[in-house]
Chains A and B, each alone.
Chain A
Amino acid sequence: MSNRTGKIISITGNMIAVKFTGDIIQNEVGYVIDGKRRLKSEVIKIRYDVAFMQVFEYTKGIKVGDTVEFSGQMLSVWLGPGLLAQIYDGLQNPLPQLAEEFGFFLPVGEERDAFSLKVKWDFTPLAKKGDKVTAGSFLGWVPEGIFEHKIMVPFNVRGDWTVEDIAKKGKYAPDRVIAKIQSDKGKTIDVNMYFEWPVKIPITAYRQKLPPKEPLVTKIRILDTLFPIAKGGTYCIPGPFGAGKTVLQQITSRHAETDIVIIAACGERAGEVVETLREFPHIEDPRTGKPLMERTIIICNTSSMPVAARESSVYTGTTIAEYYRQMGLNVLLLADSTSRWAQAMREISGRLEEIPGEEAYPAYLESRIANFYERAGLVELHSGDQASLTIGGTVSPAGGNFEEPVTQGTLKVVGAFHGLSRDRANARRFPSVSPLESWSKYRSFIEKGLVDTAKEILFKGDEVSQMMKVVGEEGVSLGDFVIYLKADFLDAVYLQQNGFDPVDAATTADRQKYLFTKIVDILKKGFPFRDKEEARDYFYNLRHSFIDWNYKEWRSKEFKKQEDKIDVLLKR
């Protein structure tokens, strides 16, 4: 298969056409040889003896007639111990290592191993000679940070195999053979601690996919209570610029109750990734007491990095996420932003001169989006354990208009929609998730009746507030005015949350249940106010005490004291 080459016959932007002989594979990786540089590229269209390839680097300086070497492999990532806490570009090159070698700027045409093959890992076997295994079966494990990193039978083997030999407990490098397995047809293969997997093919070495049921606690009140996410579910966050998409993702990545978080920063500002990668090593994960970085992997292909690699970064992130799911872990993949990924597809499609769909996005946009979100899911592994991959993607709609193709294509396939509103952001009501527009198909850990009551008040309150804009405060009845105040109160003390305060930033499920029940009681309660002034004063007071309450540590002395204060207010 190797040693097949081609010659470049045309160049437009990052798209090259290559005349080849022999056989090549769709999505095969090739390298443009330009002097000493080797520019990684991927076959995306084949017509007769011409392959159209997208180049993952800037194409400045390459010539018609330059040689392209085909690798015989599809675009793949390495899967094995050493991935956690890493920072990769869209093609799984470790960025800190590139920085060490090449300084401030990203080099062109340089590839590095995703993790070191020299580091030795403490291997403990789980399988023994004679065990029946299939793709994804656990052969052993190594400690990786706080996790038991399972060493598995590579996902590309088919059928039933038998363990012929397995290494004893000991320290091994990832490329050392730790097992020999034999198929029922008598073929034997060596297994070491890492292998490669093509990023565009989902990993399906599990028994079955299950419907997502259990909520994934993000500790963001408006999400967990009103628009919950489920483990193994999908959700999207569309919003105009400045509405706080990235901040919301960052807060989620810190506090979400999940084993592993993978951040795919795709075509967004480099500055935002920098905050994550400079701060995470120093923030303690409250659940484990270890730095947050130890449960995090960052795939970072910011807006000024080459476009084609941006397209692949989302797949790179998903593949690594699926790999950890195979170990029985709950993984959360945050993609920011899927619009940039879609735009990368649009750029490439334009260069291929495909017939454009709406807003020049390719006709296959929706199916690509669907395929991506479908890689999420709660699964039952062959071992019988359950594991999940949850995917949350931000969408950056042009002009903040949700009617555009990427938002619409996404809404069709996700289980929850957290629409951010510019009005709420301008009014500094954060998180700026719109309580009126958003929805979720998943169940919250809070009783449905309570949630419905709250939603009803929100909708009615909004109606009253619209009315007041026309007829003024004088024009609405006292009863309606109280509903408006109740909705405003719920918004201020529960839906809004201060992401910069150490206590208020994260509200546990228990606290949410406690707080929300109390608030719904107030929403249901009738108040004998004499006039609007009195009602307003009362609710403003109540709001103030509840906000103070939110800043007190759960179940602390001050928490109790503040609650007593509130109870006195409520008895009046």
Chain B
Amino acid sequence: MRKVCTRILSIVGNVVMVRAEGVSYEELAEITSAGEKSLAQVIRLDADMVYLQAFAGSRGISTGDEVKFLGHPMRVGFSESMLGRIFNGSGMPRDNGPAITENLIEIGGPAVNPAKRIIPSKMIRTNIPMIDVFNSLVESQKLPIFSVSGEPYNELLARIALQAEVDIIVLGGIGIKYDQYLYFKETLEEGGALARSIFFVHTASDPVVEGLMVPDLALAVAEKFGLQGKRVLVLLTDMTNFSDALKEISITMEQVPSNRGYPGDLYSQLAARYEKAVDFEGAGSVTTLAVTTMPGDDVTHPVPDNTGYITEGQFYLRNGRVEPFGSLSRLKQLVNKKTRADHRPIMDGMIQLYAQYVETEEKRSMGFRMSEWDNKLLRYGKLFESEMMDLSVNIPLEKALDRGWQIMAECFKPNETSFRTDLVEKFWPKT
């Protein structure tokens, strides 16, 4: 027997309150307003007062609207037929296809038992040298892309999605611009990857709270595919919008804010999503890449700061390039010893030289005299930036390593670099 209320007692922000009994925590309800149905979720129970977060926003809701409790928490369909489909933040079709009603699964399920996790060991190749060579992406890793508005982070995500060797791509868009959504769709379509992708898209014009469900929907579906043995890549953009939606709800609910208005449980909320990244022993895996835009390019802002403590490294995207210094893949050590003997030495050696170049560049800009060695470094730095760092470079790892040796050979003599003799003998290009 589904409970129905016909009187909404209060509407504050996007939270509505009704009186009802026998309602369970996080249960879903349907609000019918002027013939339109929208979803709401129970976020607080106080005696018979039920507080609901209305996903479509409270605008236009009348105190006389009907609230029907559905008797279950938020669920999402799960089937192969979802591949190539696009849904909104409530899990309803955004394309013109049918709604998925079969095989519904709960979202925001329990955490994976740490005793069942395994040490990640498989690399995901992206053909982007700054990732593959210097900060390899590893299956089951959770990595944010720290960036600022205006940087091509969505282009980077789309490229990784196209080129990564994974079975299924799940894209979760939270508060993204409509044209970005179209961009993702077109790029994946042209690249032939749309057929193995599922989109959950909440655009900037949709009600803010609807974006809150997107990560959970995307991750619940990804997790199920992972359990079926699929290698799933989840792309989330942008988690700062997600955090802002959390902030909005918590302020509406009169919770005490902790830092810059964000709720005290921001860390736990983000962690619950990021920790869904996992390598299932004997089955598939879930890898998460999430864009986090840093307001004011400030890494100590609560959202990037909390994220950094949760994730296994981060990519900094600045000036259209993946920064070599701040970027870090904590798991790269687990995969880069098995690729090629020169992978690790190139990774360290080239960055050390690039760091020297940066210092020299600073000296040059201050007007210090340039020595012969400085000039070599300057030449190296330019080559490194154009041939390795530029995002348009699209070559497999082995080619990138070869190119690394070529760049160094063009600029230096072998003994000017810090490579071991046996590596130089084997890899240094002979002229």
Partner-B contacts on A (CB < 8 A):
9-13, 58-65, 87, 95-96, 98-99, 102-108, 240-242, 267, 269-271, 273-275, 277-279, 300, 302-305, 307, 340, 343, 346-347, 350-351, 353, 356, 359-361, 396, 398-401, 426, 472, 500
Contact = CB atoms under 8 A, between A and B. Distances in A.
B26 A426 contact: no
B25 A307 contact: no
18 contacts: A10-B47, A11-B44, A65-B21, A105-B111, A108-B110, A241-B308, A241-B309, A270-B112, A270-B117, A270-B275, A271-B312, A277-B115, A302-B114, A304-B112, A347-B264, A350-B258, A350-B265, A359-B259
Given A61-B24, A64-B23, A398 B117 contact: no
| Interface-central residue, B112, B256, B309, by most chain A CB under 10 Å | B309
A62 B118 contact: no
Contacts of B44: 10-12
Contact of A64 (B21, B108, B305): B21
B257 interface: yes
**Which of A99, A107, A399, A472 has the most chain B CB within a 10 Å cutoff?**
A399
A275 B333 CA distance: 13
B109 A9 contact: no
A271 B334 CA distance: 12
A303 B115 contact: no
B218 to A, nearest CB: 16
Contact of A278 (B21, B118, B274, B310): B118
B112 A104 contact: yes
Given A10-B46, A270-B275, A398-B305, A105 B21 contact: no
Contacts of B111: 105-106, 270, 302, 304-305
Contacts of A340: 267
A307 B256 CA distance: 17
Contacts, number: 173
B45 A64 contact: yes
B242 interface: no
A399 B262 CA distance: 14
Contacts of B308: 240-242
Contacts of B346: none
B25 A11 contact: yes
B73 A343 contact: no
B272 interface: yes
B349 interface: no
Contacts of B305: 241, 398-400
B215 interface: no
Given A59-B25, A63-B25, A343-B264, A95 B110 contact: no
Interface residues of B, number: 62
Given A104-B227, A398-B300, 14 more contacts: A62-B24, A63-B23, A98-B115, A103-B113, A274-B119, A303-B268, A303-B310, A304-B112, A304-B272, A307-B265, A340-B267, A343-B267, A399-B299, A426-B326
Nearest to A13: B265
Contacts of B113: 95, 98-99, 102-106
A60 B114 contact: no
Given A303-B267, A359-B259, A87 B276 contact: no
A252 B139 CA distance: 28
A60 B275 contact: no
A347 B255 CA distance: 10
A305 B328 CA distance: 26
The 5 closest A-B pairs by CB, nearest first: A399-B300, A304-B275, A303-B271, A360-B258, A241-B308
A59 B112 CA distance: 17
Nearest to A10: B46
Contact of A269 (B265, B310, B328): B310
A11 to B, nearest CB: 4
A353 B328 CA distance: 39
A61 B45 contact: no
A105 B280 CA distance: 10
Nearest to B138: A271
Given A303-B268, A359-B259, A99 B275 contact: no
A351 B24 CA distance: 18
Contacts of A98: 113, 115
A63 B255 CA distance: 21
A245 to B, nearest CB: 10
A398 B25 contact: no
A361 B47 CA distance: 28
A305 B280 CA distance: 18
Contacts of A96: 115
Contacts of A343: 264-265, 267-268
B302 interface: yes
Interface in B95-136: 108-120
A472 B363 CA distance: 10
A97 to B, nearest CB: 9
Interface string B173-200: 0000000000000000000000000000
B297 interface: no
B48 interface: yes
B312 A105 contact: no
Given A302-B114, A343-B267, A63 B280 contact: no
Contacts of B257: 360
Most chain B CB neighbours (cut-off 10 Å) among A103, A300, A303, A304: A304
Contacts of A102: 113
A13 B264 CA distance: 12
B310 A60 contact: no
B296 interface: no
Given A61-B73, A303-B268, A104 B48 contact: no
Nearest to A348: B264
Given A10-B47, A347-B268, A95 B25 contact: no
B116 A103 contact: yes
A348 B118 CA distance: 32
Contact of A274 (B23, B45, B118, B300): B118
B119 A61 contact: no
Contacts of A356: 256
A354 B1 CA distance: 39
B115 A60 contact: no
A60 B119 contact: no
Interface string B267-310: 11001101110001000000000000000000111100110111
B22 A63 contact: yes
A303 B272 CA distance: 7
Contact of B268 (A241, A307, A361): A307
Contacts of B275: 269-270, 302-304
Contacts of B118: 274, 278
Interface in B1-44: 21-27, 44
